Structure 1
Amino acid sequence: MINRPLDLDAVQTFVRIAELGSFTQAAEALQTTQSTVSLKLKRLEKRLGCQLIERTPRYVQLSAEGTTFLEHARELLKQHDHALASLTNTRQRLTIGISDHVAGPELPMLIARMNAQDPQLLIEIRIGSSGDLLKSFDRQELSTVIIRQHTGRNDGKLIANEKFGWFASQDWHPRADEPLPIATMPEPCGVRIMAGKLLNDADIPWTEVFVGGGVTAVSAAVMAGLGIAALARRMLPIGAVDVGERLALPALPSLPIMLHTRVRDPKSKKAITALSAALKSAVPA
């Protein structure tokens, strides 16, 4: 029987490990060291009298007891945050811009992670091109932006590097003696500019067959068989295939995901750190 209260910091540490599947990324999200994360988890497991996380050199996995405790741990942290929030009527607003080439299908998960960090934080998210969002950040219309690295900018913090490829639907085939059909986003999309330059440098004729207002629209055009597109793999629906090697297309580089922020208050900084860690965990190595 547990006759002493649980350490909420240790409980939060366990939840972050479970959500991110990594001691290293949990440490980044909590702005501490991996050894501190391990120590807090060991103390919590000792207090509960059971092992919560099964650890091997290759993976981190919840034990049966850890799976059972996770739901209760989340509820405990939620009630703690509600108790603190009841003492104030003000809500901190956090305005974030996320590039359409970055947001991807993980966006609901990313928002949930920020909300779990501080349910009382009022989060405003805008999706757009990296260039437009960076301009809004410079005009102080947004407090934080997460974008593809912009040409001519060397500021910001690197979150992750993401691999890109040339993708098409499984039943798409090029037509002989015709320019390569490309589905893309409009300028000033940096990915569009990069892809066009690589094709031009390789003397590969190409033409735009579809211009979409977002990655979702471009992916739909690809799956409809209109042509190919330069995209990150995690942005694509099931069934898209990489045709770069088959068509001898120029290799696409890994593109940096950058964080630009001016937030200073501790709550907002913790939410941004949690968002960055969650996004990093979603990007394939």
Structure 2
Amino acid sequence: MINRPLDLDAVQAFIHIAELGSFTHAADAMRTTQAAVSLKLKRLEERLGCRLVERTPRYVQLSAQGAAFLEHARELLEVHDRALTVFAGARQRLTIGISDHVAGPELPALIARMNAQDPQLLIEIRIGSSGDLLQSFDRRELDTVIVRLHAGRSDGEILTEEKFGWFAAPSWQHRADEPLPLATLAEPCGVRVMAGQLLDAAGISWTEIFVGGGVTAVAAAVTAGLGVAALAARMLPFGAVDVGPKLGLPDLPRLPVLLHSRVKDGRPRDALSALSAAFRSAVRG
């Protein structure tokens, strides 16, 4: 019989571990250390009298008791949040800009993760180019932006880095006597500029065959066999191949994803920390 109340921070730590599959990512989401998260979980397990998480050198997995407790843990925090909402007044708003080269297929899951962190927070997300979003951020139209490294900017917190490649449809063939056909994003796009500069420096003739208003449109052009695009692998539909080595194209660098934010504390910062941790987990796999 449990005769003392559960520590809600420890319950939250357990949920983060379960959903993110990592003590490190859970620590990121809670803005604390891995050791602190481990201690919270240990105390929760001691309070419940069972092991909730099985740890191995390669992965984190819920035990049978942990899997059974997870839904109850979520319900407990939801009831807690609803109780606080009665006294919270108007919803707080968090306005986030995410670069089109960063927002990938994981975006719905990331939004769901933020909502789970704070269902009463009003979240507004805008998708655009890194340059445009940074300008909006500097004008204080956005609270936070998650963007690619932008020329002339050295600020921001690095969330992760991603390797880019020259992707094409499996059936696409390049005619050696023709310029390399590129599918790109419309200006301004830092990746578009970088790709063109690298090709020029390597003495490779190229031409834009398709200009899309978003990465989804560029990926569709690649899938349709129009040409090659410089993109991160997670942005492409399954089956696209990196033709860079085969065609002797210049190596594309690992490009950082940076977080710029004026949000320092409170509920919006907690939600933003959950988003950052989930994003790192999604990109690194």
TM category (shorter chain) comes to over 0.9
Deviations 1:36-65 (A, max 9, x none): 110111111122222111111111111222
Counterparts of 2:265 and 2:4 in 1: how far apart (Å)? 32
Aligned to 2:218: 218
Query: Quick one: which amino acid aligns to residue 78 of structure 2?
Result: K
1:96-115 equivalences in 2 (<5 Å) = 96-115=96-115
Cα distance in 1 for partners of 2:141, 2:237 equals 33
Task: Return the letter of the residue paired with 1:151.
Answer: A
Equivalent residue number for residue 144 of structure 1: 144
2 CA distance for matches of 1:201 and 1:266?
48
TM-score w.r.t. length of structure 1? 0.97
- Give identity over the alignment, percent: 73
* Alignment-derived partner of residue 207 in structure 2: 207
Equivalent AA in structure 2 for residue 139 of structure 1: R
The yes-or-no answer on 1:87 pairing with 2:92 is no
2:162 corresponds to 1:162: yes
Q: Which amino acid aligns with 1:99?
A: S
Q: How many corresponding residue pairs?
A: 285
* Separation (CA, whole Å) in 2 of partners of 1:169 and 1:48: 53
- Give the corresponding residue for 1:15: 15
Which stretch of the first structure deviates more once superposed, 268-277 or 251-260?
268-277
SS at match of 2:146: strand
**CA separation in 1, counterparts of 2:162 and 2:273?**
19
Q: TM-score, normalised by structure 2?
A: 0.97
1:266: Cα distance to partner? 1.2
Q: Secondary structure at the match of 1:175?
A: coil
Say whether residues 1:38 and 2:28 are aligned partners: no
Query: 2:70 is paired with a residue of what secondary structure?
Result: helix
Q: CA-to-partner distance for each residue in 1:142-199, whole Å, 9 max, x for gaps?
A: 0110000110000111111111111111111111301111101012100100111111
Q: RMSD over aligned Cα, in angstroms?
A: 1.1
Q: What is residue 132 of structure 2 aligned with on the other side?
A: 132
Q: What letter matches 2:257 in structure 1?
A: I
Distance 1:13 1:264 in 2: 21
Deviations 1:119-153 (A, max 9, x none): 11111100000000000000111011000011000
Provide structure 2 residue ranges, at least 5 long, that are not aligned to the other structure: none
SS in 1 for 2:219: helix
Deviations 1:75-98 (A, max 9, x none): 211111111011132111111100
1: CA distance, partners of 2:171 / 2:265 = 52
Matched residues in 2 for 1:100 and 1:39: separation? Answer: 38
